[in-house]
Amino acid sequence: MADNIMSKAATMEIPINSNGDTGSLPEDDSLEQDLQQVMVSGPNLNETSIVSGGYGGPAGGIIPTSTIKGSLNHNNGSTEEVSRGVAVEKLDSVKKWGINTYKCTKQMFSEKFGRGSRTVDLELEAQIDVLRDTKSKYENILRLATALITHFQNMVQTQQALGDTFTDLSQKSPELQDEFGYNAETQKLLCKNGESLLGAINFFVS
């Protein structure tokens, strides 16, 4: 109906009088009535629709704008729910962390001031005891090795002094030269081997 009215308005001749003014149109009344009827029966702007399809082509479908608004509101609601869920999870994790920290701190102060029983992990405590025993044994080995170095160093020095004395006696006593010479060589050999052992013990202790 609107197309008929627009075509009627486009093809209508407007008579002009001799003064250049438009005269009274006989079809003005009918055109005005048709326009009023179109305005009354036309679509509501608040409930407009989107027509899918090109201009002048067949309408592929009519999509009410209320449907689009509803889908947008639904998407916004889903996004808000997801954000709210993430915030709740973070809040719960912070809450759990705070509770655990408070409990650990409270237990630590209770143990420190003797107001509470000591928290003990039996399996872990057993492993710690084994490590402590092993550490004590290693420390004892180092202590004994250090003492051995001191004593063995004195023994090597004594053997060296003995070897020098036997060498001197072998030169001054011709009748016992062979015996003193043999003892001197033995002490020197023991001293040499003792120095090698002493170096190994020093390396072990260091």
The pLDDT assigned to 82 comes to: 77
- Same domain (yes/no): 146, 183: yes
The answer to whether 50 and 44 have CB atoms below 8 angstroms apart is no
- Over range 104-132, report the average pLDDT: 84
Q: How many domains does the chain have?
A: 2
The pLDDT assigned to 10 comes to: 46
- Same domain (yes/no): 126, 196: yes
The pLDDT assigned to 199 comes to: 92
Look at residue 27 and tell me if it is in a domain.
no
| Residue 141 lies in domain | 122-205
How far CA 180 is from CA of 62, 79, 92, 167, in Å, comes to 129, 105, 92, 6
Q: Which of 52, 86, 119 is the last residue of a domain?
A: 119
Cα–Cα distance for residue pair 85/77, rounded to 1 Å? 12
Q: How would residue 37 be classed by pLDDT, with cut points 50, 70 and 90?
A: low
Tokens of 169: 């006696």
- The CATH code of the domain that includes 183 is 1.20.1270.60
Q: How would residue 190 be classed by pLDDT, with cut points 50, 70 and 90?
A: very high
Cα angle vertex 23, ends 17, 27, to 5°? 135
Q: How would residue 49 be classed by pLDDT, with cut points 50, 70 and 90?
A: very low
What is the 3-state secondary structure of 30-70?
A: HHHHHHHHHHHHCCCHHHCEEEECCCCCCCCEEEEHHHHHH
- Same domain (yes/no): 84, 97: yes
On the question of pLDDT at 95 being above 60, the answer is yes
Buried b (16+ CB within 10 A) or exposed e, 116-128: eeeeeeeeeeeee
- Same domain (yes/no): 143, 158: yes
Distant-in-sequence, close-in-space partners of 169: CB < 8 Å, separation ≥ 6: 176, 180
Mean pLDDT, all residues of the chain: 75
Buried b (16+ CB within 10 A) or exposed e, 142-164: eeeeeebbeebeeebeebbebbe
On the question of pLDDT at 137 being above 80, the answer is yes
On the question of pLDDT at 73 being above 90, the answer is no
- Same domain (yes/no): 84, 128: no
Q: Is the dihedral of CA 178, 183, 188, 192 positive or negative?
A: positive
Q: Which of 86, 119, 152 is the last residue of a domain?
A: 119
Q: How would residue 155 be classed by pLDDT, with cut points 50, 70 and 90?
A: very high
Cα–Cα distance for residue pair 71/91, rounded to 1 Å? 30
Look at residue 39 and tell me if it is in a domain.
no
- Same domain (yes/no): 90, 138: no
0.75 surpassed by pTM:
no
Q: Tell me which residue of 44, 23, 42 sits closest to 34, measured CA to CA.
A: 42
Q: How would residue 156 be classed by pLDDT, with cut points 50, 70 and 90?
A: very high
Cα–Cα distance for residue pair 91/16, rounded to 1 Å? 81
